[in-house]
């Protein structure tokens, strides 16, 4: 056996002065590593964004269906306000309304509160303003149509009557001639 085993050979010492080829290769390596890190970050951002969009889509997929059922719910509420001689019929209407409302509530439907609340243009749609001295300015006096939220998002604003401060000036006096 020879004294010089090729496996145990020590590689030659790198020169202390880097060659231009070595500098170019090291620069290219750094650029490629930077590109790789950027692409990995972009892909991770893409993955997170698509996952968030998928969750939002599935979470709010029922929104259009619930919105389409709101006029039916409104019709039930109007029907319940009408007096009828047939108490069994009225009771049946109440039960159907309650059942439908509970079903929609389980899906995420929530009514927008209006009774005595302050007017909020993000939640309410003012149909009428009424000068009122005994009520604070911008207080909701009545509701024409109930508003709803669906899982925290406004589905339909409430149509309301709003009190405004009574300034004592009539509309004819307010318009300059």
* DSSP letter, residue 164: E
Scan for tokens 């889509």, then name that residue: 57
Residue 175's pLDDT band (cuts 50, 70, 90):
very low
- Do 151 and 114 share a structural domain? yes
| Percent of the chain surpassing pLDDT 70 | 84
Question: Which CATH number characterizes residue 79's domain?
Answer: 2.30.22.10
How confident is the model over 31-82, as pLDDT tens digits? 999 999 999 999 999 999 999 998 888 777 788 888 999 999 999 988 888 8
- Do 118 and 76 share a structural domain? yes
Closest residue by Cα to residue 92 from 102, 104, 105, 79: 79
- Do 82 and 46 share a structural domain? no
- Domain tally for the chain? 2
Q: Is the per-residue pLDDT at 127 higher than 60?
A: yes
Altogether, the residues listed in the chain come to a count of 177
- Do 129 and 53 share a structural domain? no
Q: Hey, what are 132's tokens?
A: 């009122």
CB atoms within 10 A of CB 109: 22
Q: Which domain holds residue 93?
A: 63-166
**E strand segments, 12-139:** 109-111, 124-132
How confident is the model over 88-123, as pLDDT tens digits? 988 999 999 999 999 999 989 999 988 878 888 889
């Amino acid at each position: 056996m020879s004294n010089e085993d090729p496996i145990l050979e020590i590689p030659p010492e790198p020169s202390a002065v880097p060659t231009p080829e070595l500098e170019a290769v090291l620069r290219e390596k750094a650029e490629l590593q930077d590109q790789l890190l950027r692409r990995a970050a972009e892909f991770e951002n893409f993955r997170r964004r698509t996952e968030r969009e998928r969750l939002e889509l599935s979470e709010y997929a029922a929104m259009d269906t619930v919105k389409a059922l709101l006029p039916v719910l409104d019709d039930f509420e109007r029907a319940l306000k009408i007096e009828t001689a047939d108490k069994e019929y009225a009771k049946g209407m109440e039960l159907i309304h309650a059942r439908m409302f509970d079903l929609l509530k389980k899906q995420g439907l929530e009514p927008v509160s209006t009774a005595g609340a302050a007017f909020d243009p993000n939640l309410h749609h003012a149909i009428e303003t009424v000068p009122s001295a005994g009520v604070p300015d911008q207080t909701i006096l009545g509701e024409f149509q109930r508003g709803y939220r669906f899982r925290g998002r406004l589905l339909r604003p409430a149509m309301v009557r709003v009190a405004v401060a009574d300034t004592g000036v009539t509309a004819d006096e307010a318009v300059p001639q």
